[in-house]
């Protein structure tokens, strides 16, 4: 009986060892290369060049409110309403100038897209305003994604 148990354990150990040495085959037909340490580092905060907006009114006049403690489900629609009222009747160049005066980085490539993207206390915060050609009102919002449990 003891010999049977030892033999079963040895066979299980051999089966595990055999599956570990089996290479994982990628789409090219070759095993995945083991190139440890070759991934690019994550972008630093300095790479974005953006600072966190103030809590309250920015120098350019946009009221960011108490965003650090805000519920995104309530804060995002309020931000959109404020942006639609503020930017009503402005063309893309005027919108861009207004938003950039408030800390947004804007890009106009077929549509105007302005963002503030920061990382603070393990959370990524993203304020955005997008004005598509032919659309009457901009789409604005706020997203937050936090890493780990709080």
- Residues 75-107 have pLDDT tens digits of 999 999 999 999 999 999 999 999 999 999 999
- Residues 98-145 have pLDDT tens digits of 999 999 999 998 899 999 999 988 899 999 999 998 888 999 999 999
Distance from C-alpha of 58 to C-alpha of 50, rounded to nearest angstrom: 14
Distance from C-alpha of 134 to C-alpha of 111, rounded to nearest angstrom: 10
> How high is the pLDDT of residue 31?
56
pLDDT of 19 > 60? The answer is no
> How high is the pLDDT of residue 42?
47
Contact 128, 105 (CB under 8 A): no
- Residues 25-50 have pLDDT tens digits of 555 555 555 555 555 544 444 445 68
Distance from C-alpha of 150 to C-alpha of 140, rounded to nearest angstrom: 27
Residue 141 neighbours by CB under 8 Å, 6+ apart: 76, 79, 80, 127, 128
Containing 14, the helix (H) or strand (E) segment is: helix 2-20
Q: What is the DSSP letter of 63?
A: B
What is the number of other CB atoms lying within 10 angstroms of the CB of residue 43? 10
């Amino acid at each position: 009986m003891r010999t049977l148990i030892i033999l079963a354990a040895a066979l299980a150990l051999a089966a595990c060892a055999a599956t570990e040495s089996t290479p994982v085959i990628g789409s090219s037909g070759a095993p995945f290369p083991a190139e440890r340490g070759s991934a690019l580092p994550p972008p630093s905060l300095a790479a974005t060049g953006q600072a966190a907006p103030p809590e309250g009114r920015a120098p350019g006049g946009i009221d960011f409110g108490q965003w650090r403690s805000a519920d995104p489900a309530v804060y995002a629609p309020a931000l959109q309403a404020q942006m639609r009222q503020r930017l009503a009747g402005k063309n893309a160049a005027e919108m861009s100038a207004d938003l950039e005066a408030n800390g947004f980085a804007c890009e106009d490539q077929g549509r105007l897209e302005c963002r503030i993207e920061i990382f603070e206390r393990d959370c990524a915060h993203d304020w955005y305003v997008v004005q598509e050609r032919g659309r009457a009102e901009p789409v604005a919002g706020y997203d937050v994604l936090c890493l780990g449990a709080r």
